Chain A
């Protein structure tokens, strides 16, 4: 019976949301790729069903009142005089109350289910630190750090710990579940299991100033093997530039102020006096990322050169200044960074 009701709801809501078919929507909240997202989706379907039902009743009642059960000006009969009806009034208190009950029970159940206060020991912990305007991701169990591109294994419990280095942001990957605000001084949590490998989009959802719109990121959910491969690669030291333009670029990286904010493990670490408030993305395996500047540009030499030449021009308010690296030097630096696969 319940299954049937769910089905019915699904059909009704599915029809109402038919518009979502056909087009490509990388941030669609209705295409669920984790247990968390499906729980929320199932609740959404139920509530939408009740909402549409109530809307239909209201529209129908108003239409009846206007087009059938009323007269027009000029009609000689005086209108009906009723101004209260206890049974009717009780009905529209009790009816909505029952519908609300039908919504509240699964709501509370989902609240409790989606906010567990413990998670399995073998859960993968991912630390998310939001910065203006990029994302730092680290895996404390594996000593891996990366930025703006998050890799997750499929079918394994993942425990996110979210905090901010400056102001309030919000971590949102619609396919994997609802958003959580990322608040300085506070550690928020999300626990979920991603169930389908694929590339998903995420974006900051709490207004955080000038480049709020440009604080995007990608999530790559990989098979367990794929994730392990990625992790092993991340643990490797950076690629040796050898000789050629990349080697010249490495020298520029070390001498230019890049290393103040950006770490390349084994080449330069974070200086201690710069706490993470000043930190920029880790570049150790920069070349292996698909995007740059918090998911707003494809990672290719042309875009990278444009970014380094003048970051605030690409991303308003970007805290990385234009460093005056130009011409051949710029090409060499780009070559080096792109070589860091």
Chain B
């Protein structure tokens, strides 16, 4: 083997050192935020795993009494919810992606470091909120006994209505998921902008590490899938707290609406979990096969194709609901199509291993096992895509087997492989390989022993989510075997956690590049310094670090960089490092999340706490807004940060608006569907066209004032800039006034939110738009004040432009609403 060139040695402290507890609470360093995510998610993995053990223990024998029905339902609900939202997603996106994005694309941090911290604290708030049911259970709070959420991880309406689930259980779930959704969307926005806009100068899309491709596509999925869930959860919230009828049959509504909204989110969610795992495998296999990834372009395109198709297949979760033969056939075909890009991935991974020089590290073992386990899960997925077969298999243990092969044998194996692979970089110490191999083999045996027999149980008709079963059903033996398998898995995880604890205490110190890696994160010290790269890399080829070391992508003869060159570079690095300014820590993300948590608690307990929480949130936002220019100036002057031609904030705003498109679409579709199902009371004929025509005129004119304000600031005319800004806000207020008049008028005519399904959807849609206008007015007023304080000038007019984008988007949404809701009031849509 050719002498390996050493990665640049970097002196000085690494990111984990210093700062104390306050340092961790206020950190905005993506690596520290990632570690916070990782530790939290690992603890929650223990919780979710314990829940799994309880489930398996209860099902060990027929007619067992380890858990009551009530506890069983809470525990299986929380097992699913925890593993999906609180373990897999945060580990993949919050932990690994967060840590690795800047390191793999050659950046100092993510695009919005404070929003990154905010995402974490919101995630923590949501996770804690989700478990508050334990507190109400122990303290016996509330009018009816309450505990953990208990309607399954997809919480089908109308079981979740207060009539059928009277306790607070579902409220914890509903509000907790709303908080987690905001956290996920913010994180996705952040990572999306980072990858699109902050890659090293030479790193084109087709030179990115495959993990970055996977995360890029995943963030798009999150941005465009979560809004549907958010809308569904808001409807549920309104039903439970304000007595509306979004999922109540009596008013003409249908609980099927929830299933559509949920699965429009839910199927992309499957890929939100699966794609990062694909990315991890695509990183691990080449390194330990000493070969580049096979078929890189197809691997990237197949990720995009999977993501695209994933929005058109949600119906395959609903074959049993009776969507009709045409919809069944359509969804069956689109679902089958996903098998093609997935097949490309599986075969390309095998081709990557083929002909390689293999090293069977624990990470490699997990990656190889992943290929088989995931393929098994994928193949049973094809059965479910075939609608008639699905009718026998859905909601049976066959499906349980399927998604555990995808998410356990697939995603979880990839995550564990990633732990063994990247832990040296993250912690600076190597995980023990002997323990690792024990864990691997125990898990492979335990996993397959638990889940493979479930295919048979499902085929033999055992429904999922039953807390017990009768002895004579022929299910007893396999259930017993499965429980043994589950215990073996538990042992395997004990080994894993022991390995982590031992490693942190006295693990072998890791070199910067312990695996002979291919991507840029291995070019910096382990653990990396706070600023990641002393000198930002060029990133001019695929597997950039490998090429730096060996000169070519594939072979490994001769070094790319000479020893002398490396020393010189090291000196340059040490010099450069002194001039790097990293973003200052901030306490406001934590406060913001605390405020949100208080609002959630208040919604269940005491309205005044909602107001208090809202004030904390508002103050945090304002404080963050005025904290920002200081950092901005500093960064602008001292650091040659690299951006790909667009501004991060503007890119972030556009990505957010894309997400909002889906959000409003879910609301508008619901309106159009429910309008024609209205049973009694006032309907769309009540809508006042002259009044809203005037409102439309006002809002269009406010958009004109908005661009005039921007133009004024850009040419340096601050005075007129401020005037036009305030004018815009004023027109916004007139619009809101019109809406208040309109709502009052309807109210007096007897149309309440609870009156009928026209009223509830109308108020929700138009009210949500009005809320956006309200936020816009607040934003504009804040900007005008900043203008008076002299904080906005022609150089910093971007702040106005971004607010303008939001404002015009709200205007554009109104154009759609005015047409579809008002002018088409007589048209029957569905």
The answer to whether any beta carbons of A and B sit under 8 Å apart in the complex is yes
Q: Is the CB of B295 within 8 A of A83?
A: yes
Question: Does any Cβ of B come within 8 Å of A240's Cβ?
Answer: no
Q: Which of A54, A107, A132 has the most CB of B within 10 A?
A: A107
Interface string of B245-280 (1 = CB under 8 A from A): 000010011111000000000000000000000000
Question: Does any Cβ of A come within 8 Å of B557's Cβ?
Answer: yes
**Taking beta carbons and an 8 Å cutoff, which residues of A are in contact with B?**
17, 19-20, 23-30, 37, 39-40, 43-44, 47-48, 50-51, 54-55, 58-59, 61-62, 64-66, 69-73, 75, 77-85, 88-89, 92-93, 95-97, 100, 103-104, 107-108, 110-112, 114-115, 132, 166-168, 170, 172, 174, 177-181, 183-186, 188-189, 201, 203-213, 216, 296, 316-317
Quick one: which of B347-395 are within 8 Å of A by CB?
A: 347-348, 350-351, 353-359, 368, 371-372, 375-376, 379-380, 382-383, 385-395
Q: Is the CB of B463 within 8 A of A203?
A: yes
Question: Does any Cβ of A come within 8 Å of B501's Cβ?
Answer: no
Complex alpha-carbon distance, A91 and B791, angstroms: 61
Q: Is the CB of A104 within 8 A of B333?
A: yes
Given A25-B461, A112-B329, A212-B465 in contact, is the A180-B353 Cβ separation under 8 Å? no
**Taking beta carbons and an 8 Å cutoff, which residues of B are in contact with A?**
68-70, 73, 151-152, 156, 158-159, 164-165, 249, 252-256, 289-298, 320-322, 324-325, 328-329, 332-333, 336-337, 339-340, 343-344, 346-348, 350-351, 353-359, 368, 371-372, 375-376, 379-380, 382-383, 385-396, 456, 459-470, 472-475, 477, 553-557
Given A58-B375, A185-B254, A206-B395 in contact, is the A100-B337 Cβ separation under 8 Å? yes
Q: Which of A44, A79, A83, A167 contacts B392 (CB 8 A)?
A: A44
Q: Is the CB of B343 within 8 A of A43?
A: no
Q: Is the CB of A24 within 8 A of B391?
A: no
10 cross-chain CB contacts under 8 A: A19-B456, A44-B389, A54-B379, A59-B372, A100-B340, A111-B329, A178-B391, A185-B253, A203-B461, A209-B151
Complex alpha-carbon distance, A73 and B357, angstroms: 6
Q: Is the CB of B555 within 8 A of A81?
A: yes
Q: Is the CB of B554 within 8 A of A83?
A: yes
Q: Is the CB of B392 within 8 A of A40?
A: yes
- B71 nearest CB across to chain A (Å): 10
Q: Is the CB of A70 within 8 A of B459?
A: no
Q: Which residue of A lies closest to B347 (CB)?
A: A92
Q: Is the CB of A25 within 8 A of B382?
A: no
Q: Is the CB of A29 within 8 A of B392?
A: yes
Q: Is the CB of A48 within 8 A of B383?
A: yes
Q: Is the CB of A27 within 8 A of B462?
A: yes
Contacts of B325 in A (CB 8 A): 111-112, 115
Q: Is the CB of A70 within 8 A of B368?
A: no
Q: Which of A79, A186, A206, A213 contacts B289 (CB 8 A)?
A: A79
Q: Is the CB of B382 within 8 A of A184?
A: no
Complex alpha-carbon distance, A23 and B456, angstroms: 12
- B804 nearest CB across to chain A (Å): 45
- A207 nearest CB across to chain B (Å): 4
Q: Is the CB of A84 within 8 A of B296?
A: yes
Contacts of A84 in B (CB 8 A): 294-298
Q: Which residue of B lies closest to A316 (CB)?
A: B69
Complex alpha-carbon distance, A185 and B247, angstroms: 11
Contacts of B156 in A (CB 8 A): 168, 206-207
Complex alpha-carbon distance, A96 and B336, angstroms: 10
Q: Is the CB of A170 within 8 A of B320?
A: yes
Contacts of A186 in B (CB 8 A): 254, 256, 322
Q: Is the CB of A296 within 8 A of B343?
A: no
Contacts of A54 in B (CB 8 A): 375, 379
Given A19-B456, A186-B254 in contact, is the A111-B332 Cβ separation under 8 Å? yes
Contacts of B289 in A (CB 8 A): 70, 79
Q: Which residue of A lies closest to B291 (CB)?
A: A79
Given A25-B473, A96-B340, A184-B255 in contact, is the A207-B392 Cβ separation under 8 Å? no
